[in-house]
């Protein structure tokens, strides 16, 4: 049996030999291993676990187990049924889609306001509304397989100007969700990035109770932030503590390591909302797509987060 330390550097193939119970127990043990310091309890392994193949494998197993439990929560069952439905059905039944769109004057003010439409030549939120209102399944599937579905920056600049008070940001978000449930996102390089998103902001939420973990903002990963930021990053923990934050430590402000009891409550909220059906589908779609292009799943993860 490999040691706990060895798990941290192993990939999916090696970790398949480890039982679910051993994998999850090891992860939780490492995560909650605290060290008393003058500034309180510090958790050195939080950063070591973040973003590893070990964490992705642990998440994959946990989600799989929870999705296949005998009596799933109501919304988990709802989303599991919804993924077998059509796009038109989704528009008529998904809570966000139902409230997002009323009618359209085709005035184009949404597009005139849209920063993404200015940047991406082939992007136009008005045409997305047009496709949704057409209720044409073929056009909807084509949209859900396209790159343009992923261009919206979710800023909502369009919403205050729409004479019909449509929520195009919400409509697009809802359609993106369905695209992933169906696996249509695999046809788009932008859509495939969602597998990285699941294991970046999704994993942060699931494992650290925050969508953005402070160690995600590395200087190496953000060369556009410049040398002064790199200087700051080199001493980020000390600077955070200096300002009153609590990086990877017990506390209540920036960078805190959340209590296991709080994390358990948050996870049940995520699960009861039905989110794990999407995460399970993203995993299955990614596995199948990786195999079809001859990549191991860890190689696939690296590919989708760096191409676009």
Partner 1 sequence: MERVPVAALPETAKPLKTVKEIPADDFYLTTSCILGVINPGTEVLITRIYDLLGLHWGLASARPASQCTCCSGITTHGDVMAFEGTLLVVARLWSVAAELGFENITTACVTSFAIHSECLEMYHAEPGLEEKVDRWLHEACGRRLQIPKHVVHSSDVIYRYRDTLAESFLKYRLVDHRTGRPLRVVDHVGCHYSKVFPERSVGGADYCDVLTGLIRSWGGQTVDYPERRHCCGMGFRQCMIRPNRGFTMACVLKKLASMEPYQPDLILTNCPGCNVFLDKEQWAIKELTGKEYGIPTLSYTELAGLLLGWDPYDRVGIQGHTVPLEPLLDKIGIPYDADRAWLTDAAGPAVKSQLQPYRREARTSLGLR
Of residues 21-40, those binding partner 1 (CB under 8 A): none
Token pair in block for residue 245: 């934050």
- Residue 222 lies near partner 1 (rule: CB under 8 A): yes
Selected from 28, 41, 51, 75, the binder of partner 1 by CB under 8 A is: 75
- Residue 106 lies near partner 1 (rule: CB under 8 A): no
| Comparison of 5 and 224: residue with beta carbon closer to partner 1 | 224
- Residue 103 lies near partner 1 (rule: CB under 8 A): no
| Comparison of 43 and 213: residue with beta carbon closer to partner 1 | 213
**Residues 163-202 contacting partner 1, CB under 8 A:** 169, 173-174, 176-177, 180, 190, 193-194, 196-198, 200-202
DSSP calls for 156-197: -TTGGG-TT---HHHHHHHHHHHHHHHTGGGGSHHHHHHHHH
Query: Which of 40, 20, 44 minimizes the C-alpha distance to 31?
Result: 44
What is the closest distance, in whole angstroms, from the C-beta atom of residue 282 to partner 1 in the complex? 7
| Comparison of 18 and 50: residue with beta carbon closer to partner 1 | 50
Distance CA 33, CA 44 (A): 8
User: Cβ-count burial of 286 within 10 angstroms (0-12 exposed, 13-18 middle, 19+ buried)?
Assistant: buried
∠ CA 169-174-177, rounded to 5° = 125
Q: What's the chain's length in residues?
A: 308
Containing H/E element for 41? strand 40-42
**Residues 249-288 contacting partner 1, CB under 8 A:** 252-256, 258-266, 268-275, 277-279, 282
Find the part of the chain contacting partner 1 (CB under 8 A) among 61-69, 83-91, 136-144, 206-214.
206-214
- Residue 221 lies near partner 1 (rule: CB under 8 A): yes
Size of residue set near partner 1 by CB under 8 A:
100
Sign, Cα dihedral of 185, 189, 191, 192:
positive
| Comparison of 153 and 163: residue with beta carbon closer to partner 1 | 153
What is the closest distance, in whole angstroms, from the C-beta atom of residue 262 to partner 1 in the complex? 4
Distance CA 209, CA 232 (A): 25
- Residue 89 lies near partner 1 (rule: CB under 8 A): no
What is the closest distance, in whole angstroms, from the C-beta atom of residue 96 to partner 1 in the complex? 5
Distance CA 219, CA 229 (A): 7
| Comparison of 18 and 100: residue with beta carbon closer to partner 1 | 100
What is the closest distance, in whole angstroms, from the C-beta atom of residue 250 to partner 1 in the complex? 10
- Residue 232 lies near partner 1 (rule: CB under 8 A): yes
| Comparison of 37 and 238: residue with beta carbon closer to partner 1 | 238
Phi, psi of 267 (to 5 degrees): -65, -40
- Residue 5 lies near partner 1 (rule: CB under 8 A): no
Residue span 119-158 as binding mask against partner 1, x where in contact by CB under 8 A, dash where not: xx-----------------------------xx-xxxxx-
Distance CA 22, CA 26 (A): 6
Q: Is the distance from CB of 104 to CB of 129 less than 8 angstroms?
A: yes
DSSP calls for 3-39: -HHHHTT--HHHHTTS-HHHHHHHHHHHHT--EEETT
């Amino acid at each position: 049996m490999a040691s706990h330390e060895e798990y941290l550097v192993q990939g999916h193939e090696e970790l398949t030999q480890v039982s679910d119970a051993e994998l999850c127990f090891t992860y939780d043990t490492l995560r909650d291993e605290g060290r008393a310091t003058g500034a309180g309890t510090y958790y050195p392994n939080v950063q070591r676990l973040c973003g590893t193949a070990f964490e992705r494998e642990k998440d994959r197993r946990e989600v799989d187990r929870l999705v296949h439990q005998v009596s799933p929560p109501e919304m988990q069952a709802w989303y599991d049924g919804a993924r077998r439905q059509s796009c038109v059905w989704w528009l008529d039944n998904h809570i966000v889609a139902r409230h997002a769109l009323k009618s359209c004057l085709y005035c184009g003010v949404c597009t005139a306001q849209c920063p993404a439409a200015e940047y991406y030549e082939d992007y136009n939120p008005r045409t997305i509304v047009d496709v949704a209102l057409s209720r044409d399944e073929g056009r909807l599937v084509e949209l859900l397989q396209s790159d343009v579905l992923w261009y919206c920056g979710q800023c909502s600049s369009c919403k205050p100007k729409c004479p019909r008070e449509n929520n195009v940001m919400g409509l697009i978000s809802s359609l993106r969700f369905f695209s992933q449930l169906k696996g249509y996102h695999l046809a788009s390089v932008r859509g495939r990035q969602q597998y990285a998103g699941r294991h970046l902001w999704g994993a942060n939420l699931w494992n650290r109770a925050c969508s953005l973990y402070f160690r995600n903002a590395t200087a190496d990963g953000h060369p556009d932030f410049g040398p002064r930021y790199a200087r700051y990053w080199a001493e980020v923990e000390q600077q955070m503590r200096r300002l009153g934050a609590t990086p990877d430590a017990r506390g209540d402000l920036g960078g805190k390591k959340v209590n296991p009891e709080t994390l358990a409550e948050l996870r049940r909220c995520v699960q009861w909302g039905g989110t794990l059906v999407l995460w399970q589908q993203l995993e299955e779609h990614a596995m199948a797509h990786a195999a079809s292009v001859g990549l191991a799943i860890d190689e696939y993860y690296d590919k989708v987060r760096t191409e676009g």
